[in-house]
Structures are given as C-alpha cells and as structure tokens.
Structure 1
Amino acid sequence: MARVTAKASLPKIDTSTFATILATQYLPFGKEVEFKLQKDHQANKKEELFYMLATALLLVGFVKIVFPKYFNNMFSLFFQTTLRSKQTREQLLQNKLASLLMNMLFIASGGIYIALVVKLRGWVSVDFWWLIAYASAILAIIYTTKYLFLQFSGWVFNTKEAAQTYTFIVFLSNKIMAVALLPFLILLSFNNGQIAEITYTISIFLIAGMLLYRYLVSLSSVRKDLSINPLHFFLYLCTIEILPLLIIYKAAFNYIGTSI
C-alpha cells in the first residue's frame, strides 16, 4: 500500500493586489458605514478688505519705487524737529503726484482704521463698507476745510509763510501716519479678542504720540515767523482743531447711527 503523507495547508498570501494593504485596522473596509454630521464652515468674508489693504500696500510700494527720493525725504524731514532743510521741503512740495497719492493713502487708511475701531468698540451698527465711506468722506472734508482755512488765515493776517509751514507739517505728518497705520490695519482686520484689543491700544498711543510730536514741531517752526506764546498755541489747538473735530465726529456718527 502506498503511504499518503498529509501536508498542512498554509494560507496563501495574495501579493499581486492591494489585499495586504487593505487588511489593516487603519482602513476598516468591510465594516459598517459610519455617518458623521458636521456644520458648514462659516467664512468671514473679508476678501474685499484683504484686497483693499493689498491695494494700500501696493500704493506705498509704487510711491517708494517710482518716487524714491520723495519717499525717503518725507521720512527724513519729518524726524527733523526744526524742519530747517528748506530745499528738501521745496522738493517735496514740487512733486504734486506723489503728494496726492500719499494724501489719498491717508484718507483711505484713516477711513479703514476708524471703521475698524468703531466696529471693534461697537459704537454704531452700520454696514462696514458704508462706515469706511463715511469715515473717509469726513476725513477728506475736515482736512480740505482745514487747508482752506489756513490759507485764508495766512492771507488775511499777512502770515503766508507761517501758514504754509504749518500746513506742510500737518499734511506731512498725515502721510507718515498713513504708512505707520498699515500694520495695525492688518492686525485689526484679521484678528479678534485680545490681539485686537492690544493692537487698538498700541495704535491709539502711536497716533497720540505722532499728533503731540506734530504740534511741538509746528510750534517750534511757526515761532520763527510769529511771536506765539505756547499757551495761546495750545488754546488755538483746542478751539480750532481738537474741539471741532470731536464735534464733527460725534454729530456724524450720531447721524449715521439714526439714519441707517
């Protein structure tokens, strides 16, 4: 009789397909299907604000590349406490296009900053884009009126040189402030909570410091042409600049809050 030898049958491993890969606990094929409900992502919808800030940055870059001498002189002259470089000042005044672009940047940056602060503090419930439009328009009206008033005062009191010097310092500081506010606009636009509060606080101190510096430089420069007492100059700032500015903003935002 022939002897039959029994051999143990070993499981065959399929190496020609992905069976070895599929047979893993991390890919549970063959099990019951599990369903998971998840809420839709709510987008912040800040694309328009992003493009607006990008346009502002591009405008600064355009002025720096196309008018590099103007851009550098603008900063160097601002930090000269006496503004003695009359030649540099005249060069800045002659470049009308660069000055116009920087003034537009100030109106846009100031309008966006005011709108962001108003929304952050919850002072009025108005559409954000209308708020930017109103704030920019108010800034444009205020500084246009201020420019005309200073020119008229210089003509009436025969102090054209002092009026032009003060006007130049005011608008030069506005241009520097427009550039300095851009990083704060980015942080306020895309952050909430504590980061936004810290950014807001630092920006307020920055604006207050630049305004104080502007008034000190203005006083030291105007006193060369006029015999002005510092107390009289302070009273002028309170009655002609600060108080009307606060009244206009208060009335404007009260009107916006009740009409929209």
Structure 2
Amino acid sequence: MTESSSENSPENSDSQDSSLENNTGPESQDAPLHRRGIKSYVIRAGRMTPAQNRGLDDVWPRFGLTIAQGRQDLDALFGRQAPRVVEIGFGMGNSLIEQAQTHPETDFIGIEVHAPGVGKLLDEVDKRGLSNLRVYREDALAVLEQCLPEGSLTTLQLFFPDPWPKKKHHKRRIVQPAFVELIRTRLMPGGTFHLATDWEAYAEWMAEVMEIAPGYANTATQETAPYVPRPTFRPLTKFEARGEKLGHGVWDLIYQRQD
C-alpha cells in the first residue's frame, strides 16, 4: 500500500469480529467510531531506527501534543494567526514534511498512531528547522472531538486511508457520516475536506458518504464529478508515482464547508 499509516496493507484476517459482516453500508451519524470500540486502524509493530527514536525521545517534547492537554488555543500554540491544515494518518510523514517546508505561512498538525512514522517526522522537523508543524500520536477521532476547536481549520486532509476491502470490515472504514460531520464542525466556513484513495471501491464509498453529508459542497466540475483531477498542491508519494507507471488509479475528492 501507500506510505500513510492507514496506508499500510489492510487487516484482512478472518479472525476479525464477525459482528461486522452484516453492516456494509456507511454508518449513521449517531455513533462515533471510537465510542463503539471499532477502530479504523490497526497498530502494527515495527522496528525503530536511531533517527526515529531520536524524534520520539528528543524532539517530541517540543512538537508533540496529547489529548490530555485538552482543547488547544491554536493561535497560542503556534504563536500567530495563520491558515491551519490537519492531516490524519500521515504515515512516514514525507508528504506532510514537504507541505510544511513549502508553505511556511501555514500551520500544520499531523495525527498518526504509528511510532516509526511519528519518530521519523519529528526527526525531519528538527533537522529542517521547521516551526509550523505539531504532532498528535493519538486516535484522530478523539483529537477532533476533544482538542481542536470548532471552526478552526482551513483544511483537513485524509490521504490514502486503510480501505478495509472486505465487506465484513467496512464498518472499520474511517469515512462514515458521523466522521464527516465531525470534520465539518472543525472546518471554518469555506474550509475544505480533501480525501484521496487508490482503491476505486473506497473512492465510490467516500463519494456516497460525502454527497449526502449536510453542509458540504463538492468542488468538482460536472466533467469530472464526483472527483477532481489530482491537485498539484498534494505531494506525489513514491508509492503513487510507482502506481501511475503501472496504470493504477488515484481518486481525489475535495468538499467545501458551506455553513
């Protein structure tokens, strides 16, 4: 799969909870995923390099954030007023680092549960002298609910989340009505929710959820709807570049908060 944490190969084991088999459609809005105990990710063990350990041990105290800190004052956190971008599931962090370095006028917050990716990103933040990036190593839904103020974000990015391709695991997909409604409340009016996936069936699922979600408008033209051409501002990952050479598709969707 791709370089994002949620982009690790899907958890396809038949030992997963069989109670998921009978619900294959998008979830209702009345049950946030983490409250039901259903996670959209699986934390997989991975070896830590010295640089990754350095990121977690030495750089985390300066750039790491926790749910225990509660609701953030983002102006105070970054020491300025600026556009704010959150990326959920940044994997090894290459794309997020590139964005933060290319756009110093914008503040970025990454959310990732996998230690190697968090450590690598923090090591790069320090090496490159970046000051416009902060990191949560927490469940994204809890961060959105408990830590990020309403109407505070310019953009929320969800690139290549785990597609959970088996029907009995569709309940684990992060893109559900309750999730996209939570994101809408954290976006400022006019803010955008940008999704991307390399699984066509998941792209169709995303479009289905977003097209019926209240308070959003699709930014795609009639010619390409529901998808948009790959935006030049989304960094091209190595995985995606290899996939393009092999003829693999990638689908981008960008929706704007309308109220």
Per the TM superposition, whether the score is higher than 0.5 is no
Higher relative contact order at CA 8 Å, sep ≥6: structure 1 or structure 2?
Answer: 2
TM-score by length of 2: 0.28
The structure that is helix-richer by fraction is: 1
The structure that is strand-richer by fraction is: 2
Q: Which has the larger radius of gyration?
A: 1
TM-score by length of 1: 0.28
